[in-house]
Amino acid sequence: TQRAGEPGHITTGNVLDDLGFAPQVSLELKLKSELHEGILNIIRKHGYSARNLEHILALRQPRVSELMRGKLNTLSIRKLLEYADKLGAYAKVTVREKRAA
Q: Are 80 and 42 in contact (CB under 8 A)?
A: no
pLDDT value at position 12?
62
Dist. CA 86–CA 101, nearest whole Å: 40
This prediction's pTM: 0.77
Per-residue pLDDT of the chain (101 residues; tens, 9 = 90+): 556 666 666 666 666 666 677 888 888 999 999 999 999 999 999 999 999 999 999 999 999 999 999 999 999 999 999 999 999 999 998 888 988 76
pLDDT value at position 22?
81
pLDDT value at position 24?
83
pLDDT value at position 8?
64
pLDDT value at position 33?
94
pLDDT value at position 23?
80
Residues 63, 69, 94, CA angle at the centre, nearest 5°? 95
